[in-house]
Amino acid sequence: MLEILFLLLPIAAGYGWYMGRRSILQRDSQKSKKLSRDYFTGLNFLLSNESDKAVDLFISMLDVDDETIDTHLSLGSLFRKRGEVDRSIRIHQNLIARPNLTAEQRDIAMMELGKDYMAAGFYDRAEEIFLNLVNQDDHSEEAESQLISIYQVTKEWQNAIDVTKKLPKKRQQVFKVTTAHFYCQLADQATDMLVKIKKLQLAIKQDVSCGRAWLGLANIYLDSDQIKECKDSLLQLIDADIALFPDSINIAKQVYRQSSDSEGYEQLLSLALKQGAGASVAIALAEHQIAKNNSDSAEAMMLDNLYRHPTMKGFQHLMKLHIKQAEDGKAKQSLSMLEKLVEQQIKFRPGYRCRECGFPAHALYWHCPSCKHWGSIKRIKGLDGE
């Protein structure tokens, strides 16, 4: 009898193991059923626009399973993108409050919370978070970019420059155009002329092709009667950013008039035109030649320019020249009417466009209001522009 009992022992052990395993599997299956049921309920709330209930449910589920952290991060980011920042803040704050989060998970959640604060306009709170994350190797790059974005919004240009200075050399190259504009912003804020010049020179040191800085310098030198420096800056502008040269025509006209250097003005405009400065410069040159009683060469130059680069502006100016020379009569009246029509068309059309996002503008902006790029808004080239 005892032997039979001994023989049954392995069977009993096996049965016990089987029953135990079955109960664990059942428990797991019940847990996962509850989890998926809760998720479906949560999704249902989301789809039926009951976001508040969905958020509460998802947050309560966080206590159930650690593996849902990624889902919560995605959900938080989704709410932020939809502009429901208060909800994304709640989700990320709840994540961070969990004591058993790994350091990596906590940093990711902090980064997301920082972005929430930025989206909500709490720049000081966002700055605090990113200043902490900037020292974490895995997140420093993103935190630096976020800090630069904050300082642009709060117009703390020196702080933005300080962040870019700490970047590795390779990343500094990526930000060189932007940093040059930060220095130009500082120059705009400064009241002292020498400080303005210093900041603009620092901008050029960052990015020698920063046309804004050369234009700014030309303007300051004109105001302070530094004729030679002003002319040099205009020449540098041609090399740095020819697309910006048409915006310096008034400065050029004044500085060459002050020094009675009519020849120099003509040479400067001709050089700019050769480098592709466009219709406005051709018109300025034509006006200068007409003022010197040289209408024939002005007309020939305009015609040649129109032939190579047809533009509405150039066409309108040529019509003006012909109207001046035409004898009074019906033909002159018709030409005048036509010229007015073209002029109206030009006025209605934007003169500038962002080369990054295509944002149209009637005036020159250094910072694109649409895509937030620096120095990307330029005069429109082609038939409608230069």
When the beta carbons of 190 and 357 are compared against Zn ion, the nearer one is 357
Nearest to 219 by CA among 255, 195, 258, 181: 255
Task: State the minimum distance, in angstroms, from the CB of residue 353 to Zn ion.
Answer: 9
Task: State the minimum distance, in angstroms, from the CB of residue 149 to Zn ion.
Answer: 15
Task: State the minimum distance, in angstroms, from the CB of residue 245 to Zn ion.
Answer: 21
When the beta carbons of 77 and 370 are compared against Zn ion, the nearer one is 370
Q: How far, in Å, CA of 250 to CA of 26, rounded? A: 84
Please count the other Cβ atoms lying within 10 Å of the Cβ belonging to residue 82: 11
- Coil, strand or helix: which one is 29? helix
When the beta carbons of 62 and 361 are compared against Zn ion, the nearer one is 361
Task: State the minimum distance, in angstroms, from the CB of residue 377 to Zn ion.
Answer: 7
When the beta carbons of 68 and 370 are compared against Zn ion, the nearer one is 370
When the beta carbons of 313 and 353 are compared against Zn ion, the nearer one is 353
When the beta carbons of 72 and 353 are compared against Zn ion, the nearer one is 353
- Decide: 150 and 118 in contact? Cβ < 8 Å: yes
Please name the residues in contact with 95: beta carbons below 8 A apart, sequence gap of 6 or more. Answer: 62, 69, 72, 73, 76, 101, 105, 109
DSSP secondary structure code for residue 208 in this structure: T
- Decide: 281 and 249 in contact? Cβ < 8 Å: yes
Task: State the minimum distance, in angstroms, from the CB of residue 354 to Zn ion.
Answer: 3
Task: State the minimum distance, in angstroms, from the CB of residue 144 to Zn ion.
Answer: 22
Whole-number Cα distances in Å, 97 to 15, 101, 102, 110, 130: 44, 9, 12, 11, 18
When the beta carbons of 157 and 359 are compared against Zn ion, the nearer one is 359
Alpha helices in the chain (DSSP H): 2-47, 51-62, 69-81, 85-97, 103-120, 123-133, 140-153, 157-165, 169-174, 176-189, 193-206, 211-223, 227-240, 249-258, 262-274, 279-291, 295-308, 312-325, 330-348
Q: Which residues bind Zn ion (CB under 5 A)?
A: 354, 356-357, 359, 368, 370-371
Task: State the minimum distance, in angstroms, from the CB of residue 175 to Zn ion.
Answer: 17
Nearest to 80 by CA among 53, 60, 51: 51
